[in-house]
Amino acid sequence: MSMRIALVAGEASGDLLGARLISALKQHLPDAQFFGIGGPQMESEGFEAWFSSERLAVNGFADALRRLPELLKIRRNVIARVKQEKAHLFIGIDAPDFNLGLEKRLKRAGLPTVHYVSPSIWAWRGGRAKKIRKAADLVLCLFPCEPELYAKYAMPAQFVGHPLADEFPLAIDRNLVREHLRLPLAAPIVTLMPGSRNGEVTKLATTFVQAAMQIAQRKPGVRFLVPLITRETRKLFEAARYQELGNQTEPEIQLMVGHSHEAMAAADVVLLASGTAALEAALLKRPMVVAYRIANWSYRLLRRMMYLPYVSLPNILCREFVVPELIQDDCTPEKLADAVCRWLDDTEARQKLEARFLSLHQELKQNNAQRAADAILGLLKGIPR
């Protein structure tokens, strides 16, 4: 009898992870059947999608609350169909708010469960790890520091590498990238990345523009690149730029549609909002300054819940402050400009950081999809067909 594997992936990133995992598993289980919730990437690998992964996407707490009855109905439907299909294994890919509850119920019914992409237990105290232990038989981790945290709670967890580390080359020719973008080879370039969400850009755009003005006063000839993903975030940043600069042409701020990786690779320093972009900048071996600002009450609550002194992934993974973090009240134009200029002035510090990031990249580059498939195959060996 062929293996029947149920998967639930949330959003586009989960769909891509799921597609790569299915492809790797099919090399060892060519007759396996895959079904559940996924997107077009997973479907291209022969996955049977009962619902689209887009159905799990929510935009903030209010949207999640409004759609809660729909999401609970989908979860009940998936539980019933997984049991009806007599699946041998369930794999929840990211989407912890949806998948952990689903996994818990399936595990109680006797089905082996895997959670692929550990939630950020390194950022919060141990309660979440206990919750995951009740839901999953195995957690697949993207970061090497995570399995040891699960070990404290007797939770099987395995490091499988990070997919971005497989995608990014170990070395990048910055001059070649600048030539491709038609940028001067010798000019100092700072890339500004105020976030991918409207709320982030709203909170940071004006501060970033003001910081750029101060950097330009200290560093004549500096150019700024601003890659923005959506039309809405571009409008928000343009409004902030016009409010601060009007029709002035200096400092030279070039807005880009997408091309964030190229914009980071071309830069001497990246000033960015805390998030996945910080990991991408590290994999591109770029010095950076990490900024973030949220509502004061949210910040006070999060500070009480966190047990690490860092918030950005490069510092968390290196386990020390290798890049400056300017959060909340410290996120001012003056402090941001100071931090960026320190990187621009210190060639030796930039070179040391680039070497550290190369070592980190090599540690994360593990052929992620195959490592994840190997871990799942190991679990499947003990499951009768």
- pLDDT digits over 81-98, tens only? 999 999 999 999 999 989
Tokens of 135: 């839901």
Beta strands in 76-194 (DSSP E): 89-93, 113-116, 138-141, 157-159, 189-193
Per-residue pLDDT, 334 = 97
- Over residues 321-335, the mean pLDDT reads 94
Distance separating alpha carbons of residues 143 and 162, to the nearest angstrom: 7
Look-up of token digits 């609350």: 65
Q: Encode pLDDT of 107-122 as tens digits.
A: 999 999 999 999 887 6
Query: Rounded to the nearest 5 degrees, what angle is found at the Cα of 175, between the Cα atoms of 170 and 176?
Result: 75
Look at residue 32 in the predicted model and tell me its pLDDT. Answer: 96
- pLDDT of 42 over the 80 cut: yes
pLDDT bucket at 16, cuts 50 / 70 / 90: very high
In this predicted structure, what is the pLDDT of residue 298? 57
> What residues are paired with 227 via a beta bridge?
256
Kindly report the backbone phi and psi dihedral angles of residue 154, in degrees, each rounded to the nearest multiple of 5, phi listed first: 55, 40
Interval 278-313: pLDDT, tens: 999 999 999 999 998 866 655 565 565 555 677 889
Residue 10 has pLDDT above 60, yes or no: yes
Percentage, residues of the chain above pLDDT 70:
91
Asked if residue 54 has pLDDT above 90, the reply is no
pLDDT band at residue 385, thresholds of 50, 70 and 90? low
Q: What per-residue confidence (pLDDT) applies to 119?
A: 87
Q: Is the pLDDT of residue 61 over 70?
A: no
Residue 163 has pLDDT above 70, yes or no: yes
Q: How far apart are CA 221 and CA 252, in angstroms?
A: 8
Average model confidence (pLDDT) across the chain: 91
Q: What is the pLDDT of residue 50?
A: 96
Is residue 56 within 8 Å of residue 12, measured between CB atoms? no
pLDDT at 123: 59
What is the model's pLDDT at position 170?
97
pTM of the predicted structure, to 2 decimals: 0.89
| 264 closest CA partner among 305, 314, 329, 300 | 314
pLDDT at 299: 56
Burial class (CB in 10 A: 0-12, 13-18, 19+), 307: exposed
Query: Residue 343, SS3?
Result: helix
Query: Which pLDDT score is estimated for 153?
Result: 87
pLDDT score of 303: 60
- In this predicted structure, the answer to whether residue 145 has a pLDDT above a threshold of 60 is yes
- 3-class DSSP state of 286: coil
pLDDT in tens, 217-273: 999 999 999 999 889 999 999 999 988 888 777 789 999 988 999 999 999 999 999
Note the maximum CA span of the chain: 71
Q: How far apart are CA 228 and CA 168, in angstroms?
A: 20
Predicted pLDDT at 300: 61
